[in-house]
Structure 1
Amino acid sequence: MKKKRVPIKRRFQLIVTGILIVSFVVTGALSLFGMLFIRDRGAEALVTVDNQNLANIVYDRALLADVEFDNYKKLVQNYAACLNKIFKNPENYKPKEVQPYDPKDPDIAGKYMLQIAYTRKMDESSGEKQRIDRQVAYVANLEDQMEISMTSKDSDILTTYCAFEDGFMVSFDNMPEALPADQIFDFSESEWFTEMRMRQEVFFTDVYEDSFGRGLTITCEAPVYDKNDRYTGVICVDILISDVYSSIVSLNIGEGAYAMLVDSMGNLISADGESKNISELGLVAEEIEAVESGSKGVFLSQSGDYFASAHMESTGWTLLIKAPQELIQKPVRNMESGIWISIMVFVAILIVLLLIIMIVVRRFTNSFTAPLLALREDVKTISSGNLDHRIQAVNNDEVGDLAESFNDMASSLDKYIKDYISLNKEQERLSAELSIAEDIQRSMLPTDFDISDSIKIYATMTPAKEMGGDFYDYFRIDDDHIGIVIADVSGKGVPAAMFMVVARTLIKIRTTAPGTPADVLYDVNNTLCRENASNQFVTVWFAILTESTGELICANAGHEYPALRHKGGAYELLMTDNMPPLATVEELEFVDVKYSLRDGDSLFLYTDGVLEAKNSQKGRFGSDRMLNMLNRDIDASPETILKDMISEIDSFVGEMEQFDDITMMSIVFSI
């Protein structure tokens, strides 16, 4: 099946485009994988960072609240220390008159001032009122400190007051109208007063609703002692929870997120006074326990909100921040959105780049293949037979080199064809002459095998080339004698054939004179030696048969031993004296050997081409295989013997080329 043709231009475009597409796909896949990997890892990292930030915020806020509440403690302790000094060393202080509240004073509203209240109406006749007023005058020395602390810009103190077991209270705030007009305010059973009597230490009260309706309040208290170090009263600072929220707790970390305080009982301390328990936030038991333990940490509740809590050492409370899951994961959503936008932009850029590169590749391939297409047309012109056409090399590159090579090829091909035509004519002439010479050579070999009734003879000669150096001959010398010869000239081709003609002619001429085969070979050898400028030689087996007696006299000049079979027997080699070939050494004396032949005897003559025939395994045909073949059908005719021998040799050789002339002669005697 013919393979589908794909032009080189198309193939180049497909290869380059394929490589680019694969490169872009691999790059895009790796980039996409990297972006998605960054998205996943980034999402985890962002959530972790947000959780850590939330934990840090709640911790920092709780720490700030502790600092603020510690400042309240220090302030109250400072007030208590001052009162202790006043009570222990009153002589070091001047009594300070406390102006009573005048509701008619137009400037009184919002003014910070000292106020006095009593748990009961004091008896002036007993001097009790005077004694208490004197103590009040000494306590009034704290007014300046109280005013500085409460009127500073960052102060969240609502009211500062001190109450004593003697039944009076001195307060400093900007709501003097809050006290009763008769200045009677029985605080003796108030929780903040009685608790200090029992504890006598600095502490914060639980959150309570301010009795003057100002909202949820927390009080920091410190004990006051007289000159005998006996407990005598308490100094207090009130702070509104709403102020605590606005200055410490409130935060702005995102929509839906807010902070809250949780007391040690699990109650939410709300800035608006609303009472709730932590269980109302939708937390499960384990989550409530995590909040109440006050341990720093962040967790995602089952309700889907993030909670962060931190313990406040100063009050025993917990600062709790609640943030919606959407707020914490908003950076993740933003990052994912940004990554998807980046992916789409990246893909769009890849597509645009791919289109641009495909256009560039197309133009490049056009510029690259245009010279090749022009070269193809020029080559077609040359291949059509116009060898005078020349390709115009435009570019000085490999294509230009190829064009020059085609031009050189066309020139060489033109010269070769002309030389070939001339040589072919010469070869045709030589071939014709060789054919004539071959015909002449074959015509010199006898083909009429009916030479005599006393012998049946058949012979073949198969040259390795057009002309061979082997020859055979049989001829009548006189009425009673027949000459039989087979020979093999050294070499092949025309020289061997010419030498064969000379040798055959000399032998045939010499037999016209009296002499035995040895005499004939002696004279022919001397003649050939004198005229052998080409240093060739020839092996010859020559015999003379006397028909009337059946006597066969033969002489061997370096030729293969013939095979003789007597009637009723088998073929055997005639191992006679074998002298050197003719044309090698002058004055050689050859030996005659005589045989008596009977009716039915057979003689097989051959050249070395039979024995030297080789197969593909380099094996020789050899004399044993030849004798076996001859003895396979001992009664066969001479023609059948030679045809069977040729078939056996061909079967043995197979596809191997014949490298030597093969000549055979078979004779059956009828004497």
Structure 2
Amino acid sequence: MTIIPKSLQQRLSFFVLLPVTVLLLGMGLTGFLYARNKLLDQWSEAIMLRLQHAAHEVDMRLDMPKMWLDLFHQIADKSNTTDIQDAIIAQLKGIYGVTRVQLKRSENPGNQTGLAQHSDEAMPHRFQSPPHHAMRMAQGGHDHQGIAVEISPTRFDTNQADQTISLITEIKDNKQQIICTVEVEMRLEYLVETLKTYGWWQTYKAFLVDSKGRILAATTSGSQHELGETGDPVELETLDAIKEKPLGIVFGSRHHTYEVSGFYRLQEAPWVLVMIAPSSEVLAPINTFRTYYLISGLTFILFIVLLIRSVTGRTVAAIKDVSRAAEKLAGGDFGQDLPVKSRDEVGELTASFNAMAHQLEERMRLKESLYLAMEVQQNLLPQQSIKFCGLDIAGKSLYCDDTGGDYYDFLQFPEMGRNRIGIAVGDVTGHGISAALLMATVRALLRSRITQPGTLSRIVSDVNRQLSMDTSLSGNFMTLFVMVLDCNTTEIQWVRAGHDATLIYNPLSDSFRELTGSGMALGVDDSWDYQEYKDAFCAGKEIILIGTDGIWEAENPQGERFGKDRLRQVIRRNHQSASGEIIEAVLSAVSDFRQKTTQADDITLVVVKS
């Protein structure tokens, strides 16, 4: 299932806060692991130095008796050295930690060497232990033929409670026959007693073990004799590591580290110093570092996340304010300006919204004004078709904007005479408010002038002169076609002021004719004298159509114009219909022809039919 954040807050949380949090956590974890490993390396080095120092202490205590034994070897094959041998034995006995020195000569009477025939004392029963437990080592860098030094494993003195260790040297002849044996017995307590004085050694659990893991000495009392016999995983892993390398650090369980051990092999004996400590103590600095690191790291991450959340929250809040204000604005509630709280893009958005709201409010007011102007303009046009002396007269205007410049009017005034009616159709350049104002001006001028005496041409000339005073600077003008129908004489009088010719259709002969004539548009030349034209009208037989160029200049998506031929075909097909129905048929045909193309010009149409 795919999770798709919907709100801006969710998107910011998912695409900003979450990645930043993961990145910071990853960087923090990487830094912690690096620092922890460095601390572990430093701790390992410190432990190794301590173990090395402790091993050196043990090596130094073992080196002293071995040095005297080495001297004993050097004079073993010389004559008259009995006094020197006795002196060496005495020096060995005087070493602190040596409990006994035993010299045993061979009972072979054929043995004739420079060795003194002196026995210090009889060897006790414990020297009857099997010799295969002894381990041999090269002594002090000297290589005397037939001489070797042996260090026995740990043996308990039956007469003492302390553990002891014996250094045994055997002197052999050329036939590898033992001439004599020297044994130096030392207390193990003596070897490790200095280690117990160190505070760090007293805190941890430490052992002195041989290569097989047998415990020679320990800083803790107990009945444990071998490393790992209790099943402790740390001791077992340490025992395995001792067999592979001379020194190292062993951590406990790979998943839950409870203990840590370190070991170091002695130089003077085949023994290993082993230290085992609880991880809580050994890793205390690391654990403390981890605690402070996690607390500070999480605090820092939380601070960063909260900071980002605060900043994005203010941004989201500002956008929500704009959204709510937009909803109110859509309902017509403009309200007060939103406060601009920042200078960033959100602040610019808020300021732009306030400016848009003001402009929209102005546009709404203007639209209301336009709507009012449209109502006024529509009221200036005839509201319905009329019946006059058996004539059916209808007209209609369709504006491409709220207001337009097309104009038509039915003029019925007593001053015009009995059974006479005037029809005017005009088209102002452009459309919109300016065209509507000019149309209203022409309507007022024409209505006021037509009630005064004078011919139709004189009336139009006077209207042109008055209008030119207002349009001389603006350059606007208006085409106009004005005609007067006299039902008494069936005569038509008309003046054409730059307007398209009027069509007259005779259904009986299926023919069209036009009411033409010369004339300039109103408002262009104030001195122009318009001509009046006359023609007969066959009442009951002909259809008169006066329109504006918005009809035949309408274009379809291909750029083709509607044209007057299509207009004639519509009139021919609908000649039996009422004048209002003919108008609707023409408008419908124009709309179908235009298809989805927007109406580009105003359309006005007047039809007169008997």
Distance 2:104 2:384 in 1: 165
Report the equivalent of 1:579: 519
* Alignment counterpart, residue 74 of structure 1, candidates 56, 71, 75: 71
Q: CA deviation at 1:556?
A: 3.1
Instruction: Give the distance between the partners of 1:144 and 1:22, measured in 2 at CA.
Output: 84
The aligned residue for residue 608 of structure 2 is: 666
User: d(CA) in 1 for partners of 2:534 and 2:120?
Assistant: 171
Contact 2:55/2:266 (8 A) holds in 1: no
- Report deviation, 1:311: 9.7
Deviations 1:559-597 (A, max 9, x none): 222122112455746274443235655464747475674
SS of residue matched to 1:533: helix
1:556 and 2:496 are equivalent in the alignment: yes
Deviation at 1:486, TM superposition (A): 2.6
Look up the match of 1:386.
none
Instruction: Map residues 614-629 of structure 1 onto 2, 5 A cutoff.
Output: 623-624=564-565, 626-629=567-570
Secondary structure at the aligned position of 1:560 is classed as coil
Report the TM-score, using the length of structure 1 for normalisation.
0.47
**For residues 666 and 579 of structure 1, what CA distance do their matches in structure 2 show?**
23
2:469 is paired with a residue of what secondary structure? coil
Q: CA 1:282–1:593 in structure 2 vs 1: closer, same or farther (change >3 Å)?
A: closer
- In the alignment, is the contact (CA less than 8 A) between 1:55 and 1:298 conserved in 2? no
Structure 1 552/664 Cα, relative in aligned 2: closer, same or farther at 3 Å? closer
Asked if 1:635 is matched to 2:576, the reply is: yes
Residues 312, 568 of structure 1: alpha-carbon distance in 2 compared, 3 angstrom cutoff: same
Aligned-partner Cα distance in 1 for 2:384–2:186: 148
Alpha carbons 1:307, 1:321 under 8 Å: kept:
no
| SS of structure 1 residue aligned to 2:394 | strand
**Residue pair 1:605, 1:665 contacting (<8 A) in 2 also:** yes
Change (3 A) 1:658 1:32: closer
Selected match of 2:409 from 471, 488, 493 = 471
* Residues 554 and 150 of structure 1, relative CA distance in 2, 3 Å threshold: closer
Amino acid at match of 2:73: V
- In structure 2, the CA distance between the partners of 1:158 and 1:248, relative to structure 1 (3 Å rule), is farther
Query: For 1:206 and 1:319, how far apart are their aligned partners in 2?
Result: 9
Distance 1:630 1:552, change over 3 A: same
Partner SS, residue 449 of structure 1: strand
Partner amino acid, structure 2, of 1:319 = P
CA distance in 2, matches of 1:499, 1:205: 139
* CA distance in structure 1 between the partners assigned to 2:64 and 2:120 by the alignment: 26
Could you give the per-residue CA deviations for residues 457-492 of structure 1, whole angstroms, max 9, x where no partner exists? 313365965997543447899999956543427474
How far 1:66 sits from its partner (Å)?
A: 6.9
Aligned 8 A contact 1:297 1:310 in 2: yes
Structure 1 residue 241 corresponds to structure 2 residue 200: no
How many angstroms apart in 1 are the aligned matches of 2:272 and 2:181?
27
Mapped partners of 1:510, 1:569: distance in 2: 38
- 2:279 pairs with one of 332, 336, 339: 332
d(CA) in 1 for partners of 2:448, 2:192: 145
CA change 1:24–1:638 in 2 (3 A) is: closer
Contact residue 469 and residue 499 of structure 1 kept, 8 A: no
- The answer for the alignment partner of 1:202 in structure 2 is 147
> 5 Å matches for 1:253-652?
255=205, 257-260=207-210, 297=246, 319-321=270-272, 323=274, 327-328=275-276, 330-335=277-282, 449-451=387-389, 453=390, 456-460=391-395, 462=397, 465=403, 470-473=408-411, 485-488=423-426, 490=428, 492-493=435-436, 496-503=439-446, 506=449, 520-521=456-457, 523-524=458-459, 526-528=461-463, 531=466, 532-534=468-470, 535=472, 539-542=480-483, 556-568=496-508, 570=510, 572=512, 574=514, 576-581=516-521, 584-585=524-525, 586=527, 588=529, 590=531, 592=533, 594=535, 597=538, 599-608=540-549, 610-611=551-552, 623-624=564-565, 626-645=567-586
Superposition TM-score, scaled by structure 2 size? 0.51
Alignment RMSD (CA, Å): 7.2
CA displacement at 1:640 relative to structure 2 = 2.7
Cα drift, residue 79 of structure 1: 5.5
The CA deviation string for residues 423-450 of structure 1, in whole angstroms up to 9 with x for no partner, is 9xxx9xxx89x96x997x669x997523
Paired residues in the alignment total 473
Structure 2: stretches of 5+ with no match in the other structure: 1-8, 124-143, 218-224, 251-258, 315-341, 348-353, 430-434
Give the SS at the match of 2:270. Answer: strand
Q: Cα offset for 1:511? A: 6.4
Check conservation: 1:149, 1:155, Cα contact below 8 A.
no
Matched residue, 1:122: none
Contact 1:249/1:259 (<8 A) preserved: no
